[in-house]
Structure 1
Amino acid sequence: MSMLDKLKSMLKGHEDTARQGVEKAGDAFDAKTGNKYQSQVDMAQQKINEQLGSDKPQDTPPQS
């Protein structure tokens, strides 16, 4: 069983809480770095949410 499978099984039923944590962590990282890596953080947040089974669209569109 891969690490991702283990995490998914641990988060089963708590996806919304995990999404909130991902958003909060990304926002904190952006604040610490002065949004220097905002596009990379947003991309990572999106990928994690996809792995969690997120069907919700992002609040802000990704920046080019």
Structure 2
Amino acid sequence: MGKLGDMAKKAKEMAKGHPDKADQAVDRAERTVDERTGDRYDARTDRAAESVRRSYGGDENRPR
């Protein structure tokens, strides 16, 4: 696996160990993208954030 793959694997392992912190980071990233794009891609960022959360089992009680 390349360096990028190794980094992604480490990030996923860390997110599984600290899902509350990972959820905060995902929320912050989603909010930043929405602000900078004027919410033009809001539906896409929602789906992307949900996909990321599923990948590490984060915030399972979040309304969908």
> Above 0.5 in TM-score?
yes
More helix by share: 2
Q: Give the aligned CA root-mean-square deviation in angstroms.
A: 1.9
**CA distance in 1: counterparts of 2:27 and 2:34, whole angstroms:** 10
CA distance in 2, matches of 1:32, 1:39: 15
Structure 1 distance, partners of 2:49, 2:36, is: 16
Residue 11 of structure 1: aligned partner: 15
Residue aligning to 1:20? 24
Deviation at 1:15, TM superposition (A): 1.1
> What TM-score do the two structures reach when normalised by structure 2?
0.74
- 1:56 counterpart = 2:39: no
Higher normalized contact order (CA 8 Å, seq sep 6+, divided by chain length): 2
Gaps of 5+ in 2: none
Q: Which runs of 5+ in 1 are unaligned?
A: none
Number of equivalenced pairs: 59
- Residue identity matched to 1:13: G
Give the letter for the 2:56 counterpart.
L
Any conservation in 1 of the 2:16–2:57 contact (CA below 8 Å)? no
Aligned to 2:50: 46
Superposed displacement of residue 14, structure 1 = 1.1
